[in-house]
Amino acid sequence: MSVTPATKYALLQEILSLKGLQLQAVYTVRDIAGLFSVTPRAIQTRVARGQIQSRDLPGRGKFLSEDIEAFLIASRKKVTHGK
């Protein structure tokens, strides 16, 4: 059974779909900022804090789909059941 990019990156693919965008090979800081409707500086701050992994890729690309998916998974809030 093979895993397609749409299922491998389910959270990212859902966001892209809602925004009418396609999965890309690499993403820039501006791409990610646009995806989350924040400033590029906000993404740079998350990178500096270690909340999202960036890479030293050729050109302007800094993120792979797996980096964004990992960020989305890690950003889930834990729900506590209590009074």
The domains of the chain are located at: 5-74
The pLDDT assigned to 79 comes to: 63
Kindly report the pTM of this predicted structure: 0.79
Query: What is the pLDDT at residue 82?
Result: 62
Class of the CATH domain delimited by 5-74: mainly alpha
| Model confidence at 80: pLDDT above 80 | no
Which whole-number Å values give the CA distances from 6 to 13, 44, 57, 63, in the listed order? 6, 26, 23, 17
Which tokens sit at 45? 């701050």
- What is the spatial distance between Cα 15 and Cα 26, in angstroms, rounded to a whole number? 16
**Number of helical (H) and strand (E) elements in the chain, helices listed first:** 5, 2
End-to-end Cα spacing for the chain: 44
pLDDT, tens only, 20-76: 999 998 999 999 999 999 999 999 999 999 999 999 988 888 999 999 999 999 988
What pLDDT is recorded for position 1? 47
Q: What is the mean pLDDT of residues 5-21?
A: 87
